[in-house]
Amino acid sequence: MSPKEVIALAKAKDVKIVDLKFSDIHGSWQHFSIPVAELSEGLFENGLGFDGSSIRGWKAVEASDMLVMPDSSTAWVDPFVEATTLSLVCDIEDPITREPYDRSPRGVAKKAEEYLRSTGIADTAYFGPEAEFFVFDDVRYNVTSNESFYAVDSAEGEWNTGKEEFPNLGHKIRHKEGYLPAPPADRLMDLRNEMVLTMMELGLKIEAQHHEVSTGGQCEIDLRYDTMLRMGDMMMTYKYVVKNVAHRFGKSATFMPKPIYGDNGSGMHTHQSLWKDGKPLMAGDGYANLSQEGLWYIGGLLKHAPALCAICNPTNNSYKRLVPGYEAPVILSYSARNRSAICRIPTYSSAPGAIRVEFRCPDPSANPYLAFSALMMAGLDGIENEIDPGEPMHRNLYDLPPEESSELPCLPDSLRLSLEALRNDHEFLLKGDVFTTDFINNYLEMKMGEYDAIRLRPHPYEYSMYYDI
């Protein structure tokens, strides 16, 4: 929609409030609201000022003035607010230079799309993430200097088979057996349907929804692929809808990658393809119907995978999911169909438009704008430098004997190691000023603070292991 059309929509829907949303570096929406009387075409041209120093990882207090610039194409009426509220996703600009703020994640994605077109390799990048999440009935946690605990619960969790539920009707899901069970074992069908219907009302295109592998309420809703920036906006909306619908149902949804020990964590397998002049660039007559460019794109992903983890798996908790045996591949390899490879080429269809690469290690704690941009930049680097991905791997990499698996290159097993990889390998992200040196240095500092926050605190399980030493 144009600004005029947004204003007309606001009048037609009798909107009272306009909500301005933007993403921080961590991938959380920040927002503030204005009366609808302030909605004008000038708002889209001139923006509104706010204090950028209060946003995590942004401007210092001595240079805190910033502008939010609403994007009229993102307008929708918020279904979760009592007063009729129009939602607009915003970009961030410096009020003096009027240049895009280089620490704004949405701005990074916009620059990534501009860089793609400037290379002449392709003009469009499509992304299709498969984001998983957990829905809990109860969540409790606390951390003090002398105490630390967490406790989550789900009515369908295997641990509740002996619980007094007055009556307990059974139908609990065993560990690692939650993939596609029908109700009554799947207790979240109505919840996911409500999420899907709400997303569709807001313009998101949904392909499927289902229960996922883990006990304890793990779910997945699949979005139909779209362009990079649009998919970043859609993923932010996706998370907003999932959390708010769960809250309406008296439940709590989380995109934390590994909230439950001993079962599958939540991933965000990310399908990617490049197109030029309306034609798929990755389709060809090579391995798994890939073009040479498609293979080089994989080469770039594999070469830069350790550094990509710092952005695509950006939390300490992410590395509790990236362990062998839980459908989260860690060995740097590629293959058609093989889900134990970090790069998979889906073979559901051989139609040229369906040929794509699936990168399977990201998780939904990632900021989608940053993750998609980094993945595309790595793939482009592979094409520009003709990086050979080597031979495909067709064996089940989860079951390799230790003497074989130890010889294969793997992803980092901690946030610290992934940050070290990013520190040593980020030149590919700086092309076209998509990511800047300031962004990378600031990101590394923020994330090392998160690593230290965990490193410095005793873990409850350490008492079980070491108290009697």
**Residue 210 domain-assigned (yes or no):** yes
Q: Which residues of the chain have pLDDT under 70?
A: 60-63, 325
The residue written with tokens 């909500």 in the block is 19
**Residue 118 domain-assigned (yes or no):** no
Return the CATH number at 22.
3.10.20.70
The verdict on 171 and 86 lying in the same domain is no
The verdict on 57 and 179 lying in the same domain is no
The verdict on 324 and 400 lying in the same domain is yes
The verdict on 162 and 86 lying in the same domain is no
The verdict on 223 and 184 lying in the same domain is yes
Does 168 count as an annotated binding residue? no
Does 391 count as an annotated binding residue? no
Does 130 count as an annotated binding residue? yes
Return the CATH number at 202.
3.30.590.10
**Residue 113 domain-assigned (yes or no):** no
The residue written with tokens 């965000």 in the block is 268
Q: What is the dihedral of CA 47, 49, 53, 58, to 10 degrees?
A: 10
**Residue 368 domain-assigned (yes or no):** yes
- The per-residue pLDDT for 469 is 94
Q: Quick one: CA dihedral 407, 411, 414, 419, positive or negative?
A: positive
Does 41 count as an annotated binding residue? no
Q: Which residues are catalytic?
A: 51, 130, 132, 212, 220, 269, 339, 358, 360
The verdict on 237 and 377 lying in the same domain is yes
Q: What is the pLDDT of residues 118-138, one digit of tens each?
A: 999 999 999 999 999 999 999
The verdict on 432 and 351 lying in the same domain is yes
The verdict on 44 and 138 lying in the same domain is no
How many CB atoms are closer than 10 A to CB 29?
A: 15
Does 407 count as an annotated binding residue? no
The verdict on 239 and 372 lying in the same domain is yes
Give the residue numbers spanning the domain of 74. 3-101
Q: What per-residue string of b and e applies to 378-407 under the rule 16 or more CB within 10 Å gives b? A: bbbbbbeeebebeebbeeebbebeeeeeee
Of the residues 101, 133, 156, which one is the last residue of a structural domain? 101
Of the residues 101, 134, 156, which one is the last residue of a structural domain? 101
Number of domains in the chain: 2
DSSP calls for 57-116: TS--GGG-EEEEEE-GGG-EE-TT-SS-EEEEEEEEE-TTT-PBPTT-HHHHHHHHHHHH
**Residue 111 domain-assigned (yes or no):** no
Does 358 count as an annotated binding residue? yes
Does 93 count as an annotated binding residue? no
Q: What amino acid is encoded at 99 in this protein?
A: E
Does 404 count as an annotated binding residue? no
- The per-residue pLDDT for 408 is 83
Does 209 count as an annotated binding residue? no
**Residue 108 domain-assigned (yes or no):** no
Does 269 count as an annotated binding residue? yes
The verdict on 289 and 148 lying in the same domain is yes
Give, in order, the Cα–Cα distances in Å from 459 to each of 100, 255, 448, 449, 456.
42, 22, 18, 17, 9
Does 224 count as an annotated binding residue? no
- From the list 208, 138, 218, the residue with the least C-alpha distance to 178 is 218
**Residue 234 domain-assigned (yes or no):** yes
The whole model's pTM is what?
A: 0.96
**Residue 109 domain-assigned (yes or no):** no
Of the residues 66, 101, 136, which one is the last residue of a structural domain? 101
The verdict on 156 and 192 lying in the same domain is yes
Q: Do residues 398 and 325 touch, judged by C-beta distance below 8 A?
A: yes
Does 272 count as an annotated binding residue? yes
The verdict on 251 and 136 lying in the same domain is yes
Three-state DSSP state, 466: helix
- The per-residue pLDDT for 62 is 56
